Structure 1
Amino acid sequence: MLDIVVCATQRCGSTLFLEDMRNIGILGMPEEYFISWIDGPQDQDWRKKLQELHDKARSANGVTAVKIMANQLSGIDNRLATLVSSDADGIFPHVAHTFNDALWVWLHRRDVVEQAISRVIARQTKVYHATEDHKFEHFTGNAMRGYDENYNRDAEYDRTQIFREVNSITLEALTWRHFFESHKITPLEFVYEDVVQDEDMRHLDMLMKRLGIAGPVSKTSRTSAKLGNRRNIEWRERFLREAAGSHFNLAKFS
């Protein structure tokens, strides 16, 4: 079993959230381990893969944690269907059955337009994470070492791409809601904008309390840098202005 499943969508701030969990050393070693399940060969020993996942996801105190993206649910469920049977009526029943004892943690952003812009810029620049200083390493292994505020200067505004991502994010969030409702799961819910502003990292305290882990513990500062900058703000203002200018006529706007 897993102790914590972090439910997320791309560019929702989950990497920052996971860094906090990993740094504390007692809330598992969460990462996006299921990528290899989705992108790798289908004819694998999934029971062995699941055990390997547990081993990687475990912190020294035995707590295990992973992250699942909404767009991975179908692929994960198909793989788990070869290992377990489930008579549940809800969507992705094998995911719910396999991790039924886990604490489900749902992280999302309040501003989906900002999230959509983050996706578009990341896709264009190929920069998905960055560290504050070039001396720092990042657990994802694919971060820009040392933040450069000009990293996205060549990114090109594309209203259609942003609009499509807004739609995708909205549908992905609805998918998570439907999953929770169909399996009577009440997730521990966090909003990125609140988490990133909370210097006390109270989200970690809440996770520890739900798992019955005694505190207090030392909390480590993040090495991750916030990628969003003036260009993100300008794109957001332009997108919302154009949306209002079209009277929110989606056929014309997209």
Structure 2
Amino acid sequence: MTTPTADSYFVCATPRTGSSLLLGLLESTGVAGRPQAYFREPDEPLWAERWGLPSAAGYGEFVRAALAAGRTENGVFGAKLMWGTLDLVVDRLGTVHPASAGHDVDLLERAFGRTRFVYLRRDDVLAQAVSWLRAEQTGIWEAGGDAEPGGQAPGYDAAGIGELIERIGEHNAAWERWFASCGVRPHQVRYEDLDADQAGVTRGILAFLGLDLPEGRAITPGHRRQADELNAAWIERYRREPARS
């Protein structure tokens, strides 16, 4: 049995890169924590209520409750961070650990122990933008999870796709700048590789974290692929339309 090289890890991503699929695969191993988007600001009140935290609870208490919920029996914790959420987390941790304020990795390690990072991105940014736009329109972000539809019927929107392509590029560049500025070398995962070999990619992350898949344990997905003929039609239409100013 190998010794874990991390107490905690974060899956760092942008929307529609297969992050929910990857979280489910990692949880299915039984040794890589119970990773969720615990620190997404709109969801914090729901987590706090689920964990029975009082309304006056501070951020340190919230983090300790997340650790308790997101650890497996071996003590490993996992969570997901989208770009933008990271700034929120380190800013709030700076109030809990003021001596480390302004030093992002130090703050994270004060709160989460030895921390490692998995960087998930998608080569086909057009397909990612189409998937993101459709999810925003319909309110359906996951297939096979607990998601419920809450939006409108999907409709093609070239301007919206273009704006999301730009945003994805900006967020990917921001992640890469942050890794470089902090001296972080993340384990990189391509969505396309995850889509082709879910078990292999998951095993690669376990190896990065110094974890062994328990004997007899199967790596199983909790979500289904959502892209369909409509996504393909939007992608083809965007490619063949005249260049946009």
TM-score exceeds 0.5: yes
Listed one character per residue, the Cα deviations across residues 142-188 of structure 1 (whole Å, up to 9, x for unaligned) are 257xxxxxxx9941100111111111111111111011000100000
In the alignment, structure 2 segments of 5+ residues that lack a partner are 1-5, 49-54
Offset of 1:80 from its aligned partner?
Answer: 1.1
Identify which range, 33-42 or 48-57, moves more after superposition. Answer: 33-42
Offset of 1:110 from its aligned partner?
Answer: 0.9
Offset of 1:91 from its aligned partner?
Answer: 7.0
- Aligned AA (2:227): G
Distance 1:38 1:83, change over 3 A: farther
Offset of 1:99 from its aligned partner?
Answer: 5.0
Listed one character per residue, the Cα deviations across residues 126-150 of structure 1 (whole Å, up to 9, x for unaligned) are 111112xxxxxx3xx3257xxxxxx
Residues 142, 226 of structure 2: 8 Å contact kept:
yes
Identity fraction in percent: 26
What RMSD in Å do the two structures reach over aligned CA positions?
2.8
Higher relative contact order (CA 8 A, sep 6+): 2
Q: What SS does the aligned partner of 1:81 have?
A: helix
Offset of 1:39 from its aligned partner?
Answer: 5.9
- Aligned AA (2:204): M
1:238 and 2:237 are equivalent in the alignment? yes
Query: Map of 1:1-254 to 2, 5 A cutoff?
Result: 2-36=7-41, 40=45, 44-85=57-98, 94-95=107-108, 98-99=111-112, 101-131=114-144, 138=145, 141-142=146-147, 154-198=153-197, 201-215=199-213, 217=215, 218-242=217-241, 245-246=242-243, 252=245
Residues 26, 59 of structure 1: 8 Å contact kept:
yes
Report the number of matched residues. Answer: 230
Residues 26, 32 of structure 2: 8 Å contact kept:
yes
Distance 1:83 1:53, change over 3 A: same
| Separation (CA, whole Å) in 2 of partners of 1:96 and 1:159 | 42
In the alignment, structure 1 segments of 5+ residues that lack a partner are 132-137, 145-151
Distance 1:223 1:164, change over 3 A: same
Listed one character per residue, the Cα deviations across residues 171-208 of structure 1 (whole Å, up to 9, x for unaligned) are 11111101100010000000011111115x12222222
- Aligned AA (2:21): L
